[in-house]
Structure 1
Amino acid sequence: MKSIYYVAILSCLFLFTNCKDKKPKEGEKAGQAEAEVVIPAKPIFSFSFVGCNRVNWGDVTDSIPSTANRGVLERIFKEMVAEKQQTELFFFLGDLVLAESTLPKLNTQLAAWKKLYDANPISTSGIEMVAVPGNHEMLYSEKDKSGKYKEYPLKGATDIWLKYMGEYMPKNRDTVGGKESHINSMTFSFTRHNTGFIVMNTDTYNAPPTGKTHGKEGMVPTPWILNKIKEYQKDETIKHIFLLGHKPYYVCGVPRVDHKGLPEGPVIWPAMKAGGVTAMLSAHVHDYQRSQPGDEGPYQIVAGNGGSEGAATFFGYSTITILDDGNVELVSKGFDVGTPYNKVSDKPSTVRDRTMLTATKNANPYPCTN
């Protein structure tokens, strides 16, 4: 019993001396010798985005008048709604439908797409959808003299888009205004929490110049966009800025001003860099890509893996979370593309890309194979 007693006394003395504040080492301030408590960052809010879900020309069926890759679309919606931390906003970045031909076809397909969306549980989930037009909604294709198809602005497409998708634009948005306010109505900006969003219609209608048959593809109201970037940069309540539009400027890290990219990119991108914009979020290219041109400043994220056939190895959606420590996290999730592409894969969804969108060189580059 006596030995047990002495062991107990020694144990107490050991605990007492080790629970005292440790003497700081030379050069340390009092308290630095103790282990620091790291408090994890908390999310302020999240938003998701994806584009390009329309099927190929040869895969249009009367049973799916929306021309959506319906099975893939419904799986994306279901998984988005089921997220533990539900996204607040969902940007659909264009090419919802095939169209790209006549006003009657655009009208029929968008009407059917809206009906499909409104009948889906996502429409009552509390997730706010923001619809962004793509070239398949805004343009029509026609053979040129060489026999190649080219795309041109479709007069009247703006009215049809607004008829069906106008309700999926934020009510508190800022618009371009001026004498061309109607034509530019699908380019707008709005804020949520500490974040500013500038949404671009990257195929704004423009009439044919004198002596020409067609208007120009890929037009945007550049001066208004540049001014909005400056305005958000000066606003102390806005900590993050994002540009969103169907067409990207960088594809696999290479600037594109042709049909694949954004003709106004050489003007807009330097303004983004100077204005501290976090990223341009786009689709159009049927793939998922993430690049940081020059290894500093804004990112180009292409999320055209919403269900259209192309280079994408997985279909899904991407989510950006704004954290309270000032960081911005990107997570892209998805499931393997089926065979054929419009057959829904039974493979589970997994995280395909995760990184912090740092303004300095990203430590976790994403390879581009397209």
Structure 2
Amino acid sequence: MKKLIMLVAIGAICIYSCQNKQKKTSSSTTTLQVQSKDSVLFSFVFLGCNRVDRHQQGDSTATNASTANLSAMKRIWTEISALERKPDLFFFLGDMVLGETDTTNLENQLVAWKKLYCDVDFSPISLSKIEMVAVPGNHEMLYWHDYNVPHHDEWPLKGATEIWMNEMEEFMPEDREVVTGNDSINNQMTFSFVRQNIGFILMNTDTYNEPTKENPYGLEGQIPTQWIVNKVKEYKDNPSIDHVFVLGHKPYYVSGKPKTGHKGLPEGPILWPKLEENHVVAMLSAHLHDYQRMQPGGKGTYQIIAGNAGSPGEAKFFGYSKIDILNNGEVKLTSMGYNIGNPYYKAVPENPSTLRDSTTLTWEANKNPYQNQND
């Protein structure tokens, strides 16, 4: 009987830890880092796009009710948790579930995703003390249909904002700054926060908007542009902040070219010059199922795409990307990955994870441009 009581107590502690570990602030992180003896002041990983293809939704060898690519998720989470110098933050940049149908499916899939996150037998990530921060992608915010509408088949899903906030708010920092004023309800998933000397601005790149006469289904790709621009400038002018990153599911540059349609951001032509003007280090994105690093202006702000976390597409390797802020002010980027199996959701322990990209993110022209090392 005593043994049974002890097991129940341990289980309760694990559940409590999983449910409450996200409640962190900059002060708690700073306290941890003062004790650090290595040269890394702060470290974070980022990735997106782990959901399976629609045809694998009912395939138990590929996924479960979460619609996540189970083999890729388990491996990536386990490898990150095993790093000798664990990252302080883990950014999940959307498309963690298949979604794109209705709010019932979206809610069920997010609930199942959280169960995986908390399942220590599946992965040790929830007990790693790494702060998980998530923003949604188009698969969480939009719905997909078979209508014959040229160049546009995804539309804002009414109710998705409420579902995300109900299920995923625990993966949003308590000390975040949020959009206020007009339309603040729809902009709850765009926010900012500071850790050490780093300012992070997280964007929901598919903010809900009501249908209008001109746009009878609403518009995809909407962001609160002016709030983001104001926050970028505020962080740039803050003497205690040395590095600024903007993160969101959809990129603006893909393969070196600006995209304002489904592949990118309609507000990109307004936003990107402000990022460069205020010396934002990089926009970190997913959406494209690949890894790409580029410096679109030949110098200045980087566009880094890390949408190679398990969804089928262009990527030849699945993995994660990491940024280390060093005590000397340098910003180091690395990308790790393993060659994808056939089919893409097959576990391939025989394929080791190896370094795919490594560079210092210099403001001047990077002397180490990224090549397609996944060929």
- Fold equivalence (TM over 0.5): yes
Distance 1:140 1:90 in 2: 27
Does 2:128 align with 1:125? yes
- Structure 1 residues 166-245: aligned runs within 5 Å: 166-210=169-213, 212-245=215-248
Unaligned ranges ≥5, structure 1: 1-40
Q: By how many angstroms is 1:294 displaced?
A: 1.9
What SS is found at the alignment partner of 1:223?
helix
- Structure 1 residues 57-72: aligned runs within 5 Å: 57-61=54-58, 63=60, 64-72=64-72
Q: Displaced runs of 4+ in structure 1, greater than 4 A?
A: 146-149
Q: By how many angstroms is 1:206 displaced?
A: 0.3
Does 2:85 align with 1:85? yes
Q: By how many angstroms is 1:209 displaced?
A: 1.5
The one of 254, 258, 263 aligned to 1:255? 258
Instruction: State the TM-score, normalizing by the size of structure 1.
Output: 0.87
Q: By how many angstroms is 1:61 displaced?
A: 2.1
Query: Could you say which residue in structure 2 is the equivalent of 1:11?
Result: none
Relative distance call for 1:248 and 1:147 in structure 2 (3 A) is closer
Bigger Rg, which one: 1
The one of 354, 357, 367 aligned to 1:353? 357
Query: Could you say which residue in structure 2 is the equivalent of 1:19?
Result: none
Q: By how many angstroms is 1:277 displaced?
A: 0.2
Q: Deviations over 1:75-114 (max 9, x none)?
A: 0000000001100000000000001011111111111111
Distance 1:143 1:59 in 2: 19
Relative distance call for 1:148 and 1:294 in structure 2 (3 A) is closer
Q: Which moved more, 1:145-154 or 1:181-190?
A: 145-154
- Structure 1 residues 261-272: aligned runs within 5 Å: 261-272=264-275
RMSD: 1.6
Does 2:50 align with 1:53? yes
Query: Could you say which residue in structure 1 is the equivalent of 2:287?
Result: 284
Does structure 2 retain, via aligned residues, the 8 Å contact 1:142–1:149? no
Relative distance call for 1:354 and 1:110 in structure 2 (3 A) is same
Query: Could you say which residue in structure 2 is the equivalent of 1:31?
Result: none
- Structure 1 residues 129-148: aligned runs within 5 Å: 129-146=132-149
Does structure 2 retain, via aligned residues, the 8 Å contact 1:314–1:336? yes
Does structure 1 retain, via aligned residues, the 8 Å contact 2:100–2:143? yes
What SS is found at the alignment partner of 2:153?
strand
Distance 2:219 2:338 in 1: 37
Distance 1:77 1:238 in 2: 29
Identity among equivalent positions (%) equals 55
Does 2:274 align with 1:274? no
The one of 24, 28, 44 aligned to 2:41? 44
Q: How many residues align?
A: 331
Does structure 2 retain, via aligned residues, the 8 Å contact 1:143–1:149? no
Q: By how many angstroms is 1:212 displaced?
A: 4.1
Q: By how many angstroms is 1:144 displaced?
A: 3.3
Instruction: State the TM-score, normalizing by the size of structure 2.
Output: 0.86
